[in-house]
Each structure stands twice: as structure tokens, then as C-alpha cells.
Structure 1
Amino acid sequence: MSRPCLELHRLRKSFGAVDVLTDISLTVLPGEFVSILGPSGAGKSTILQMLIGATDPDMGTMLLNGAPLVPKRDRFAFMPQRDALMPWRRIIDNTTLGLEVAGLSREAARAEVTPLFAEFGLAGFEQHYPAQLSGGMRQRAALLRTVVQQRPMLLLDEPFGALDALTRTQMQRWLAKMWSRHHWTVLLITHDVREAVLLSDRIYVLSSRPAHVVHQFRVPRDHPRQGVGSPALAAIEAEILQTLLHPED
């Protein structure tokens, strides 16, 4: 088995008198798609905030490739729920933003990003503004801006949560195909059980706050998955729902 590229051990986090995370331990292997599920307010996004250095754990260790994680040095490719595209920048300039912040010239950044527009379903929309794109296209542009930075891992914080049901399903299937093609290493925060089953190799289920890991599910690998109609995947989905409803049983 490959050595984990990310290891979290016994993480704890409180905000004032509120205990948010009490015992979070998980691993992510290279090229693996791992999801974290849990009730609203359980602190799922706080885990990603600790990884990117927006807040620090009170206790516990975070390792990247076996060494202590230093968030300001070991940067992840992070995509929040909202696309966060700048409305005054054209799509080509939004997708190159991370590369330009990293020091690439505008011309070099465009040379990196332009060949990927067709693969991300954005060919012909390079000169459009975000307001001229559909919700799904905006999310694809945000994901392109994220992955082109060539970070070792993608952190996705409910990236499709703001989309309507049909667009969300389309984006989930598209992401499954893209992950299978590019073999990204992904840690996804989601509240959508079906989304987690569709996309993931493994799923960690958290309790309510203060959150701890109550169960880990392994999903049979048959990527790209086109749906969760198979009896095996439907059974996993049902078991996860039961765990969320009765986490301590």
C-alpha cells in the first residue's frame, strides 16, 4: 500500500467555549478521492481551514508526505463552495489568477491555462465575464483555476452545494470523469451522501459537534461512476445514512 500523502492524527479544535472537533484522524493516499461527511455545523470545513492555515488546531498533528505540515509552505489547491470568480475579470484572466499570484507572467499563465479550456468545457468562453456563464460553467472555471496550480492535493469545500439539483448532478459526473482521467488527490467536504458515494474511494463520517470520526466506508473502485444505481453502491448509501442518523449505534 502507498504511503499516505496526508495524515491527520487526533486533531482537536475549539472556538472559545465551543468545542468543534474533538478527535479527527484520517489519511489520504496519493491519487485517492476521500470525502468527509457529517451533520451541518459539525466542523467539516474547519478541517480544511486548518490545512490551509486559516486556523490552527489546538492539539494533534498534521503530516504531508510524512513530514509536519506547514500550511504557509505546503500549499494546497483549495476550492470553496462559491466560485469566487472576480466579476470584472474575463474567464481567461480568472483562471490564470493563481498562477500570476505565484509569479508567472500574464503571458506564461495564459499559455498554461488555454490548452485546458476545451477539456473543461469552456472553449469559446475565454473572453466572457463570469456573469455571462451558467452556474456549472462558473464552477468548472473555478476548478480549472484551482487545478492548474499543480498543487499536490485538491481541497474541495462543498463545491457544488450552491447549484440546482440537475446542474449539481451533471457537475458530479463531470468531476468523476476528470478525476479518473487526471488521477488527482482529492479531499472533499460534502453534506451530500450520494455525491460522496459517486465520487469517493473512501468516506469518513463525522458525529455531530464536537465532531469525531464514527465510521469509515470504502467504496468499490469502478471509476468513472455514472450513477449509484448498482445494489452495492445503494447499500453503501443506505448504510451511511443510517450512520448519520444513529452515529453511536
Structure 2
Amino acid sequence: MSAARLELRHLHKRFGDLDVLADISLSVQPGEFVSILGPSGAGKSTIFKLLTGGLRPDGGEIFFDGVALAEETQPFAFMPQRDALMPWRRIIDNTTLGLEVQGMARQQARERVAPLFAEFGLDGFEQHYPAQLSGGMRQRAALLRTVVQDRAMLLLDEPFGALDALTRSGMQRWLETMWEHHNWTALLITHDVREAVFLSDRIYVLTERPARVLREITVPLPRPRRDLASPQASAIEADLLETLLNPPSET
């Protein structure tokens, strides 16, 4: 039985005549932060849809804590690319939305979420509307809405891709701190090589569609990670960029 929290074994997915995933095998250990890098259109988001039940694989297997993932089982808290905050709901009510969808009463959901506002840098903004918050604060609210559901694992689909470079850098540092503090298990999709190096314990690099795992790269940098200009970090980033820009040809 696998010791991995999540394990994908030889996943295949096609849409009509279009092969999207040819053979995807990867794993995430409990408490680990793993990233998936690959060209645009390689099927990274398709992997998340397979995990969350939006799609069914055409082949292969998905295991969670050593057991085949059932359709009715949902151990994942999913954060999409956009914050998807509802503009007519105050921040306190946006952050409770996932709990309410699960059937929790609004007042009970508020009582669970409220103590976390300070930790997420949102203290005093409970009654604000999304349009009154900065991009970084909106993403913090979206992450709070995600993690308060108390799922076993986080799926993060380019959560900082829409932010400016300075805000994105700050959010990456904040996410690393929160991940370590809460001992989350996380799987991240990103196009940002530096972001993957900064956050990850391991990185899977996918080929172009139909996607296969081209490489698995360990990131042996100490935490907290503050110096991505170090020779070791720069070497890992350069290696990843070379793999993405000049992938080895298949034999």
C-alpha cells in the first residue's frame, strides 16, 4: 500500500480525437508541497478536474491515502486561478461559502472563520466587499475560504497568476509561511518557474500535449526560502527553464 497522500498512476485522458494526458504518474507525500510545470495546453488543469470529479479518466488510477479515490469522495480543497469572490457578499460571507455549501449554518460558519481573519491578514475587513480589497487581500480571502473547509489536501491552480510581480512575490512568501505553520499538503499548478522553485519540495515537469511526466526534480533548498539568488536556487531554475524550452526528444 502506498504511503503517499496522493498518487496518480498512468492517467490517460482524451477529448474526442484529442489526446490530452498520455501517461501521468506522480505522487504527493503528507505535508509535502509539490508543483506541476508544463507548457500551456499540456493538460495541467485537466489533472485537477480529474481529481475533483469534474472529469473522469479514460485510463489509469488515482489513490488517496493508499485507497482508490471514489467518485463520492472529495478530500481536496480547490483554489482556482481567479479568487471567484462573489461581489455582492461581504468578505466574511465569501469566506464561509464553502462551509455553507456543505450544509453548515451561516452563523456556525462565521464562528469557525472569524478567528482566522487576523492570521490571514484580513482582520478588520470582515464587512468589506471584494471590490474594496487589494488583489493580494482578495487572494488571501479566497485561500481562507479554501482551507477553512478542513480538507486533507490543497489543490492550487495558479492562484497568484493574475497579481502584479511585487504582490505575487509577497503572496508566495506568505503562502510558504502558512504552509509550514499548518503542515498542509499541497499540489500547485504554475507557469512560473521561480514560484515553483520557491514553494516546492518537488516539481514535476510535463511534456507538451499529450502530456507525460518528463522530469521529477527535487528542490533541496533550506526553509524559509528567502534567497532565490543563491547559486543553488539559480541552478535549479536554469535547469527547469532549459527543460521547458529545450525538452529532450523522445527516442
**What do the CA deviations read for 1:195-248 (whole angstroms, capped 9, x no partner)?**
000000000000111110010010115222124122111111110111111222
**TM norm structure 1:** 0.97
Tell me what 2:128 maps to: 128
1:180 CA drift (Å): 1.1
Tell me what 1:17 maps to: 17
Tell me what 1:78 maps to: 78
2:52 is aligned with 1:52: yes
Name the CA distance, whole Å, in 2 between partners of 1:159 and 1:71.
25
Name the CA distance, whole Å, in 2 between partners of 1:173 and 1:39.
25
Name the CA distance, whole Å, in 2 between partners of 1:129 and 1:27.
38
RMSD in angstroms over aligned alpha carbons? 1.1
Tell me what 1:193 maps to: 193
Evaluate the alpha carbon distance shift between residue 241 and residue 64 of structure 1 in structure 2; reply closer, same or farther with a 3 A threshold: same
1:96–1:110 Cα contact (<8 Å) kept: yes
**TM norm structure 2:** 0.96
| Residue identity matched to 1:247 | P
Name the CA distance, whole Å, in 2 between partners of 1:197 and 1:116.
28
| Residue identity matched to 1:38 | G
Tell me what 2:102 maps to: 102
| Residue identity matched to 1:76 | F
**What do the CA deviations read for 1:112-153 (whole angstroms, capped 9, x no partner)?**
111110110000000000010000000000000000000000
Name the CA distance, whole Å, in 2 between partners of 1:27 and 1:227.
27
1:35–1:196 Cα contact (<8 Å) kept: yes
1:72 CA drift (Å): 3.0
**What do the CA deviations read for 1:86-133 (whole angstroms, capped 9, x no partner)?**
110000000011111112111111111111101100000000000100
2:93 is aligned with 1:93: yes
Evaluate the alpha carbon distance shift between residue 71 and residue 162 of structure 1 in structure 2; reply closer, same or farther with a 3 A threshold: farther
| Residue identity matched to 1:111 | E
Q: Give the percent of matched residue pairs that are identical in Structure 1 and Structure 2.
A: 69
**What do the CA deviations read for 1:134-191 (whole angstroms, capped 9, x no partner)?**
0000000000000000000000000011111111111111101111111100000000
| Residue identity matched to 1:102 | Q
2:78–2:156 Cα contact (<8 Å) kept: yes
2:4 is aligned with 1:4: yes
Tell me what 1:161 maps to: 161
Tell me what 1:247 maps to: 247
Name the CA distance, whole Å, in 2 between partners of 1:146 and 1:74.
13
> Aligned with 1:179: secondary structure?
helix
Name the CA distance, whole Å, in 1 between partners of 2:158 and 2:244.
18
| Residue identity matched to 1:14 | R
Name the CA distance, whole Å, in 2 between partners of 1:132 and 1:242.
41
| Residue identity matched to 2:39 | P
| Residue identity matched to 2:159 | P
Name the CA distance, whole Å, in 2 between partners of 1:238 and 1:158.
21
Moved more, 217-226 or 159-168: 217-226
**What do the CA deviations read for 1:57-76 (whole angstroms, capped 9, x no partner)?**
11000000111112432331
| Residue identity matched to 1:91 | I
Name the CA distance, whole Å, in 1 between partners of 2:89 and 2:27.
37
> Aligned with 2:27: secondary structure?
strand
Evaluate the alpha carbon distance shift between residue 55 and residue 233 of structure 1 in structure 2; reply closer, same or farther with a 3 A threshold: same
